[in-house]
Amino acid sequence: MSNVILSVMRRDLLIARRRQVEALLPLGFFVVSAGLFPIGVGPEAHVLRQIAPGVVWVCALLAAMLSVTQMFASDHQDGSLEQMLLAPQPLVGVVLGKVLAHWLSSGLPLVVAAPLLGVLFDMHAGSIAWLAFSLLLGTPILSLLGAVGAALTLGLRSGAALVFLLVLPLTIPALIFGTGAVLAVDGGQSPQAHLSLLGALLIVTALGAPWATASALRISMD
Amino acid sequence: MSVSGPLATRALACRRGRRLLFRGLDLQLDPGSVTWLRGTNGSGKTSLLRILAGLSQPAEGEVLWGGQPWRRAGALARQGTIYISHANALKDDLTLSEAVAFGGALSGLDGARARADAALDAMGLRTRRDAAVRTLSQGQRRRGALARLRLDDAPRTWILDEPFDALDAASVEALSHLIETHAQRGGAVLLTSHQAVTVAGMREFDLEPYRAAP
């Protein structure tokens, strides 16, 4: 199984590297959309600091959804997905490989770019570090849940919009605990409780979502 | 481990949307046999191939692999079948060699890259091996997709949907020869084709008698 995870992941990363513009689009969306807030809200430092965790997290959610809709679409179009379903290897391995590749190519860049936005919102150095860490735990959840949505809406005409509607409500717990951790640090408390819950959420999602995705893919291809 | 089947169907029926395409279909693909599946457009050839490959579920009846239900045979049945559909399953952004090697890796073959290169050489694509798939012609892509048949010599069951599409005369002949060789080593082949096929010892299977009344 680890073989199939690795070979799918390597292939998807290779494709992402060859389609750099497409791969960097979510990152661009993340930075630009979050960057609009200081301009729109005004330069009040304490207001910006207060809304920063929420704004950065919501923009990360939207950026992740933007790219996740494409996770299976092109493989569906050119027949690769059929071959993945027919392979003797477990389909869950294929799904995990694709989710890992998606996270590495579009989730991790968001984590790396988050401190930059933290500076833009005049956040304290401590809060910035915890913001990045909460996103590090949170973005894989987004990739995992997004995969379920993408698999369910495969082949539908307005699939991309449906993914947003299906998956965004499911990401609310991650949003609450992710922003909660940073707000706790701002308030002088420990972020540990929030982060533990976020970590637990990640584990539960990682245990359930790949199987749900695999079943959804089988149904979509029937 | 046996990868040769045989693949058989029992009283198969297929429904697409509300329309019943065919019913009561019994078909057996014995090791070493080549079967040309015939039928008019829309008679359900591709649907039948997809059911046999395990991609969709029949409305009635069952598919048997080596005597047991397809589902129960699971990985063994998937290991023993190669399905090549209308779509070529080659990614535009990969090189031909990378794309074919990925197909091999999915099938669980080791040394997939070397196998892919050898298979592409045999398909007459040696010079196009490192070209991006998007730069290839339709015929070259089709040959690239068919290179999956040459990744190893196991007598698997080949399910080929219009394999001769877009091929030139020389490639058609090479593929016919490949199919004959495969049958000789005990593999079963089921194919559809709109153009005439000449393969020694081939039998025809017509879908017409099984068509459900409209």
**A222 part of contact set with chain B, CB < 8 Å:** yes
Residue A213: the pLDDT is 96
Q: First vs last Cα of chain B: how many Å apart? A: 44
Size of the A and B interface in Cβ pairs below 8 Å: 74
Tokens of A175: 């949003």
Q: Is B86's CB within 8 Å of A79's CB? A: yes
Q: Are residues B32 and B136 in the same domain?
A: no
User: Which of B153, B176, B205 corresponds to the end of one domain?
Assistant: B153
Helix (H) or strand (E) holding B22: strand B19-29
State which amino acid sits at residue A29: F
pLDDT band at B4 (very low <50, low <70, confident <90, very high): low
Instruction: Report which of A108, A111, A101 is spatially closest to residue A134, judged by C-alpha positions.
Output: A111
Tell me which of B112, B133, B153 is where a domain ends.
B153
Chain A residues whose CB is inside 8 A of the B105 CB are 3-4, 7
Q: Which residues of B touch A19 (CB under 8 A)?
A: 93
Give the containing element (helix H, strand E) for A25: helix A20-41
Among candidates A7, A15, A87 on the partner chain, residue whose Cβ is nearest the Cβ of B93: A15
Nearest to A18 among B53, B56, B93 (CB): B93
Q: What are the Cα distances from residue A189, in Å, to A106, A126, A181, A182, B32? A: 31, 12, 9, 10, 73
Peptide linkage before B214 cis (omega within 30 of 0): no
Pairing of strands B81-84, B157-160: parallel
Bridge partners of residue B13, in order along the sequence: B60
Contact B91 A74 (CB under 8 A): yes
Mutation target to probe the B interface, by most B beta carbons within 10 A, among A3, A6, A11 is A11
Cβ of A79 under 8 Å from any chain B Cβ?
yes
**Which residue in chain A has the smallest CA separation from B103?**
A83
User: What pLDDT does residue B3 have?
Assistant: 54
A89 reaches B (C-beta below 8 A): yes
Q: Which pLDDT tens digit goes with each residue over B22-44?
A: 888 888 888 889 999 998 888 88
Where do runs of H (alpha helix) occur along B54-205?
A: 70-79, 96-106, 112-122, 138-146, 169-184
CA–CA dist A192, A190 (Å, integer): 5
Contact between chains at B81 and A86 (C-beta distance less than 8 A): yes
Asked whether residue B2 carries a pLDDT value surpassing 60, the answer given is no
pLDDT digits (tens, 9 = 90+) for B97-117: 999 999 999 888 888 899 999
The C-alpha atoms of residue B110 and residue B101 are separated, in whole angstroms, by 10
B73 shares a domain with B22: yes
Average pLDDT over residues A198-211: 96
Q: Nearest CB to A80: which of B76, B83, B91?
A: B91
Q: Are A146 and A164 in contact (CB under 8 A)?
A: no
Residues B75 and B3 in one domain: yes
Q: Which structural domain range is residue B177 located in?
A: 1-80+154-214
Same structural domain, B74 and B159: yes
The answer to whether residue A83 neighbours chain B at the CB level (below 8 Å) is yes
Task: Map tokens 């390597």 to a residue.
Answer: A10
The answer to whether residues B65 and B2 touch, using CB atoms and an 8 Å cutoff, is: no
Which residues does chain A have within 8 Å of residue B103's beta carbon, measured at their own beta carbons?
A: 83
Show the tokens assigned to B170. 């020389």
Q: Is A221 on the interface with B (CB under 8 A)?
A: yes
Q: Which residue has the higher pLDDT, A160 or A139?
A: A139
Say whether both B34 and B129 belong to one domain.
Answer: no
Asked if B147 and B159 sit in the same domain, the reply is: no
**Number of domains comprising chain B:** 2
A88 and B78 within 8 Å at the Cβ level: the answer is yes
A61 contacts A135 by C-beta, under 8 angstroms: no
Cα separation, A26 vs A148, in Å, equals: 19
pLDDT of residue B1: 41
CB contact at 8 A, B152 and B80 = no
Chain B, nearest residue to A15 by Cα: B93
Looking up residue B44, the CATH number of its domain turns out to be 3.40.50.300
Token pair 């290179």 is at which residue? B147
- The rounded distance, in Å, linking the Cα atoms of B198 and A52 is 70
Tokens for A100, please give them. Answer: 């890992």
d(CA A203, CA A209): 10
- The answer to whether residues B68 and B158 belong to one domain is yes
Question: Is residue B76 located within the same domain as residue B164?
Answer: yes
List residues of B whose CB lies inside 8 A of any A CB. 53-57, 75-76, 78-79, 81, 83, 85-94, 98, 102-103, 105-108, 112
- Reported as a pLDDT band with limits 50, 70 and 90, residue A81 is very high
pLDDT digits (tens, 9 = 90+) for A8-20: 999 999 999 999 8
Tokens representing B133 are 């798939």
Nearest CA in chain B to A10: B102
CA distance A9 to chain B (A): 11
Using CA atoms, how far apart are residues B72 and B68, in angstroms rounded to an integer? 7
Tell me which range, A6-15, B17-26, B70-79, is most confidently predicted by mean pLDDT: A6-15
pLDDT digits (tens, 9 = 90+) for A92-138: 999 999 999 999 999 999 999 999 999 999 999 999 999 999 999 99
Return the closest-CA partner of residue B20 out of B12, B31, B9. B12
Give residue A53's identity as a one-letter amino acid code.
Answer: P
* B78 closest CB neighbour out of A3, A15, A87: A87
Residues of A in contact with B55 (CB under 8 A): 82, 85-86, 221-222
Residues forming beta bridges with residue B64, ordered by sequence position:
B8, B69
Instruction: Say if residue B148 is in the same domain as residue B159.
Output: no
For residues A195 and B189, give the distance between their C-alpha atoms in angstroms, rounded to a whole number: 56
Minimal CA separation from A18 to chain B, in Å: 7
Comparing A156 with A141, which gets the higher pLDDT?
A141
Q: For the whole model, what pTM was predicted?
A: 0.91
**Chain B positions in Cβ-Cβ contact with residue A7 (cut-off 8 Å):** 102, 105-106, 112
- Which residues are registered as beta bridge partners of B159? B83, B190
Q: Is A73 on the interface with B (CB under 8 A)?
A: no
Give the span between the Cα atoms of A64 and A29, in whole angstroms.
10
- Which residue among B153, B183, B199 closes a domain? B153
